[in-house]
A and B are shown apart, each in its own frame.
Chain A
């Protein structure tokens, strides 16, 4: 069964204090790994897609990296507006070799950035 584990569950940072969030996964037939940001009372907002080990994507203060077993979301010099829950999801086949894919989400990391 596909599994996605995010750590830590919660992270509290001071403004400007860089850190990383982890997403480890166990899936067969990985098609892609996604990072989303979710603010309270809202739906997840798409951030990045990573397709293969070694790939990196950047957006403002966020940088996502991917290995064969995990992904990291690095946050450089965070600001209070970066406070949110960050969700990781993996896309894999329903059946081995099949063309139907499903997204399996981790439970997220709640990031709080204090001014």
Chain B
């Protein structure tokens, strides 16, 4: 079974721009969660989608948004990028909402200059 895939793997953007990251979950998994990982803060929960609906949201500003499509693929968008948004963005999939075990993709490394 193919694992979670994320595209692109690396991205360099300029302050003020916006960015869209994509995540394809494991086949059959309907829940997708997004995390931000930085050396200082570690892994922090952004939001979770299930059946095209956002179920939960972490403590991030409204510049961070996401959506899920009918095929369970998900995208997250960050608008008006700031230097502090530089991080590894990880997507995790699980069979159902708030399911115990989540399987992570390789992440997208975003650098904001």
Contacts and interface: CB of A to CB of B under 8 A. Distances in A.
Interface of A: 31-32, 34, 36, 41-46, 49, 87, 89, 91, 94, 99-108
26 contacts: A31-B100, A32-B100, A36-B104, A41-B106, A42-B106, A43-B90, A43-B104, A43-B107, A44-B43, A46-B103, A46-B104, A87-B43, A89-B43, A91-B98, A91-B100, A100-B55, A100-B98, A101-B98, A102-B45, A102-B48, A102-B56, A103-B45, A105-B35, A105-B44, A106-B42, A108-B42
B4 interface: yes
Interface of B: 4, 33, 35, 42-45, 48, 55-56, 58, 90, 92, 97-98, 100-107
A108 to B, nearest CB: 7
Contacts of A42: 106-107
A100 B100 contact: no
Contact of B104 (A41, A45, A94, A101): A45
Contacts of A105: 35, 42-44
Contacts of B100: 31-32, 34, 49, 91
Nearest to B42: A107
B106 A46 contact: no
A44 B90 contact: yes
Contacts of A41: 106
Contacts of A36: 104
A46 B90 CA distance: 14
A49 B101 contact: yes
Nearest to B58: A102
Contacts of B55: 100
Contacts of B92: 43
Contacts of A43: 4, 90, 92, 104-107
Contact of B102 (A46, A94, A99, A108): A46
